[in-house]
A and B are shown apart, each in its own frame.
Chain A
Amino acid sequence: MDAISGSNIFKTFRLGAVETVQALVDVTFNIRHGTLTALVGPDGAGKTTLLRMVAGLMSPNSGRLEVLGLDVATNPQAIQSRISYMPQKFGLYEDLSVQENLDLYADLHGVSRKDRSERYPRLMDMTNLAPFMDRLAGRLSGGMKQKLGLACTLVRSPDLLLLDEPTVGVDPLSRRELWEIIRVLVKEEKLTVLMSTSYLDEAERCNHAIVLNNGKILVQGPPEEVSSLATGRVFLADPLAGQPARNLQARLFDAQDVADAVPEGGQVRLVRQEQGQPPFTDTLAGLTLTATPTRFEDGFMLLLHKTLADAHVTLPALSPTQATVLSQREVVIEVHDLVRKFGTFTAVDHVSFEVKRGEIFGLLGPNGAGKTTTFRMLCGLLGATSGKLRVAGEDLRIARASARKRIGYVAQKFSLYGQLSVIENLEFFSSAYGLRGQRKRERIAWAMQQFELNHLARLPSGQLPGGYKQRLAMAAALLHEPEILFLDEPTSGADPMARREFWRRITAFAEAGVTVIVTTHFMEEAEYCDKALIQDAGRVLAQGTPAELRNRADSHDGRRPNMEDAFVAIVEASRGESALKANQSQ
């Protein structure tokens, strides 16, 4: 018998009086006991709806869903007593300690004292939270919070574990740790796990993958099956000499017969729409293509590209490539020996770097590494404890207010006015930046068109779908045509499609001469940057071009190290060193 079996499931939601949304359309699937299944798809594909339905929190409009042999529609209580479900926003009590949170969930699930004494050490062992039992949950890093959430979900031994995007907003190191926990659970405890994810490399590690789009299952089966869809269509191409890979990537991404293109290891990885046919776009014709093994992401993007073919987005035109060599450009951001302390805690520890005009500069690092603090200091939102910093020649903390006209800032959290409509927000921010009359109208029209907000102009911005909030925030930050754009975690929680679209725009802005500083959790996104800096515990561990960073990692298993390998290698080496130093000094 299967752990979960669903047949012809339909689910429709009402949106207002007449409008409805089809969340799930004719979904049929089976999940075997003791397997790890990934649920992947873009935002709004129906992943969370399906998970909530399996958890017995809602029932299908029609069709049948059986979980652990019980019908969801008639036995939700019986199912809930045998499964554990971790929603996207897990309800940790931030004012309680790690121990108190665990106890609370154990009490809620009626776990006996005896079971606790067996279960706790095992959970602590898996999550490495043992040294932090007395710390308040609110003071844990993002990755540790997720691990604690998982531990609270697992205080009792469920027959089925449901995880909704457990690794969103978690840095690569913590992500690997979370994955190790899940792997152990499936392998050693024979637990059945169903998880949704927007990291496609995670799907590759599962036994089974279900690709959802617009509520329909596009494909399901072992991940290799999805990968093999792209067989014979995946190639690597070299960028033109002296140009960043992202320029070629952007052009390929726009090309008609290319399903997907991403920068990878200094080259561009592309998935062709059709196999074997001669290229019919000029961009593709002049390139030397090297075939490369396929991966899950290639197959996934090919699948989605087919369904999206009609709704292709119009992206900003790329300006003719400037011949200026990066090394000859002026420095627009200069940070020297920057330190920021909060009490005894040093959030930013002697950080130095330079950014030149038109560069895309990436700040990478685990949760709590000091990226956002560095950012807030650059934008003048926070004073530095010591050190020197210059943005467009000035320290924004003390410069006159008009100097801030030269920068644009998009915060990590959506921070425009939710009650105001899209157009009212844009009008307010354009006035804030001193635009008026004809120019104000032109810039607002530009932003509405560029970010495709016209059909949503009157909607309160708080009600926008996630991806559109991001666009509106970008639009508001670009109204006054800033020289420098600060983006704090712009792609966190975004699906693969939205992230490609985002970077496509950024590439166009950089080509037009805008300097972009960006923080990200997605290591492969560092490939879009001209230079990147890796920060951990406030200190700079490494900085340089993506190629320079990649070279810091050893190649093992014959594979060329990617950015994530490099990141993990660099951070782990540094943590090892500081642990060694701490031991020596004792």
Chain B
Amino acid sequence: MLDSLLRIIALTIKEFLAVLKDPKSRISLFAPPIIQCIIFGYAASYDLNHVPYAVLDQDHSRASRRLLAKLDGSGVFERVADLNRASDIKPWIDDAKALLVIQIGQNFERELMNGQTTTVQLIADGRNSNTAATASGYVNSVVAAFNSEIRASKGEPPAAVTVVNRVWYNPNLESRWFMVPGMIATLTMLQTLLLTSMSVAREYEQGTFDQLLVTPFHPSEIMAGKAIPSWIIGMIQATLVLIVAQFWFRIPFAGSFVTLYACLGMYLMATIGIGLLVSSISATMQQAMLYNFVIVMPFILLSGLMTPISTMPPFFQTLTLANPLRYAIHFVQRIYLENAGLDLLISDLWPLLLMSIFTLSLASWMFRHRFT
């Protein structure tokens, strides 16, 4: 038992030496998570501002100017053109110079004054459906506010039911608050998978694995010696992303560090299990790298980071159940933003535990039977 422990420690020390001695590999372990997190924090945002729009105002009335002033004053929209003819609309949209065109008909003010219902036409560029939908939503809320002002000015009662939005845990609905904590799980997965699978594949490729196999190392000891350094390095990388989230993006951490690290530890076990599985089927570093590319994309797409899982087709929703990243993003966001305790996260933790047990034991079996 002691012998076995000492062997695992020796292998762990060797792994750390191999990774940390080379300045290049030292930097490549810790710089990319920080840089990627910062890039993601800025680039991956669904929040719109400076949306270019054009106006075809055929009414030229005080009412139409008031509506347009509200749009311009919202801070979201930026008027790029005032059009004169309906035929001008197409080129502006086609050339993507304007994302939206708002057309106000010539009877706009008259109909409003007569107490009739009038319409404003909104033409949006649907080639980017996400942005178009979000921008249309903004226009709707501006128009709704305009409506209630008109009603109030005419002394009419306000609409019977109105919705008052109060967004919890992210009061300003900034998508960065959602994305960056998700990065703690995502970036750590990318790096851990690569580190684990490459460290084993490198040994196959350079013939050192044979040399290990003729020593008294048991395959499970080799696995432990490979898993422990990856686990520790993964934890450090997660910490780096956490620091960027708090001190660079200033996203307040609401939860408990103990809970977060306990959950991350479990998650990393499952990730390392997958990394070891990848390495057990690859003969060279190139193959390991390729397999990583193949599996990482589905893991991210099916994680709920980019698109909500609930909007995926049922089959793919089922697939996400086998994705450790899905659970990790979920628990990180809940701990980070709403201070969820372990009791609330059981549903995320037991699938990760199952995955760790499954992948690690399968990888251990593969290691033993690889050479027959």
User: Which residues of A line the B interface, CB within 8 A?
Assistant: 376, 379-383, 401-402, 404-405, 407, 409, 411, 413-420, 424, 427-429, 431-434, 436, 476
Mask, B208-228, CB within 8 Å of A = 1, is 101111111110000000000
Given A409-B211, A417-B14; 11 other pairs, CB 8 A cutoff: A381-B210, A401-B217, A401-B218, A417-B18, A419-B21, A419-B22, A431-B7, A431-B10, A432-B11, A432-B212, A433-B215
Q: Are B212 and A424 in contact (CB under 8 A)?
A: no
Interface size on B, residues (CB 8 A): 26
Q: Are A432 and B216 in contact (CB under 8 A)?
A: yes
Neighbouring A residues of B3 by C-beta, 8 Å:
434
Q: Are A381 and B14 in contact (CB under 8 A)?
A: no
B15 to chain A, nearest CB (A): 10
Q: Output the residue of B21, B22, B210, B212 with the most chain A CB within 10 A.
A: B210
Q: Are B208 and A380 in contact (CB under 8 A)?
A: no
Of all chain A residues, the one with the shortest Cβ separation from B225 is: A432
Of all chain A residues, the one with the shortest Cβ separation from B214 is: A409
Q: Does B87 contact A (CB under 8 A)?
A: no
Q: Are A411 and B13 in contact (CB under 8 A)?
A: no
From 179 to 220 in chain B, residues with beta carbon under 8 angstroms from any chain A beta carbon are 206-208, 210-218
Mask, B1-19, CB within 8 Å of A = 1, is 0010011011101100110
Neighbouring A residues of B210 by C-beta, 8 Å:
376, 381, 409, 411, 415
CA distance A380 to B210 in the complex (A): 10
Q: Are A431 and B6 in contact (CB under 8 A)?
A: yes
B9 to chain A, nearest CB (A): 8
CA distance A402 to B371 in the complex (A): 19
Q: Are B7 and A434 in contact (CB under 8 A)?
A: yes
CA distance A216 to B18 in the complex (A): 39
Please name 18 pairs of A and B residues whose Cβ atoms are closer than 8 Å in the assembled complex, sorted by A: A379-B214, A380-B214, A381-B371, A401-B216, A405-B216, A409-B210, A411-B207, A415-B210, A417-B208, A419-B18, A419-B21, A424-B17, A428-B10, A428-B13, A428-B14, A429-B215, A432-B212, A434-B6
User: Which residues of B line the A interface, CB within 8 A?
Assistant: 3, 6-7, 9-11, 13-14, 17-18, 21-22, 206-208, 210-218, 371-372
A447 to chain B, nearest CB (A): 15
Secondary structure at chain B's binding surface: helix, strand, loop or mixed? Answer: helix
Instruction: Given the known inter-chain contacts A405-B216, A428-B14, A429-B215, please indicate yes or no for A383 contacting B208, CB distance below 8 A.
Output: no
CA distance A404 to B213 in the complex (A): 9
Q: Are B214 and A407 in contact (CB under 8 A)?
A: yes
Neighbouring B residues of A414 by C-beta, 8 Å:
207
A382 to chain B, nearest CB (A): 6
Of all chain A residues, the one with the shortest Cβ separation from B211 is: A415
CA distance A433 to B10 in the complex (A): 10
Neighbouring A residues of B17 by C-beta, 8 Å:
419-420, 424
Neighbouring B residues of A427 by C-beta, 8 Å:
10
A415 contacts which of B6, B11, B208 (Cβ < 8 Å)? B208
Neighbouring A residues of B11 by C-beta, 8 Å:
428, 432
Q: Are A420 and B18 in contact (CB under 8 A)?
A: yes
Of all chain A residues, the one with the shortest Cβ separation from B206 is: A415
Q: Are A413 and B371 in contact (CB under 8 A)?
A: no
Q: Are B214 and A404 in contact (CB under 8 A)?
A: yes
Q: Are A404 and B21 in contact (CB under 8 A)?
A: no
Of all chain A residues, the one with the shortest Cβ separation from B21 is: A419
Q: Which 6 A-B pairs have the closest CB atoms?
A: A431-B10, A415-B207, A432-B215, A409-B214, A383-B372, A401-B216
Of all chain B residues, the one with the shortest Cβ separation from A473 is: B211
Neighbouring B residues of A381 by C-beta, 8 Å:
210, 213-214, 371
Neighbouring B residues of A417 by C-beta, 8 Å:
14, 18, 208
Neighbouring A residues of B213 by C-beta, 8 Å:
380-381
Of all chain B residues, the one with the shortest Cβ separation from A462 is: B206
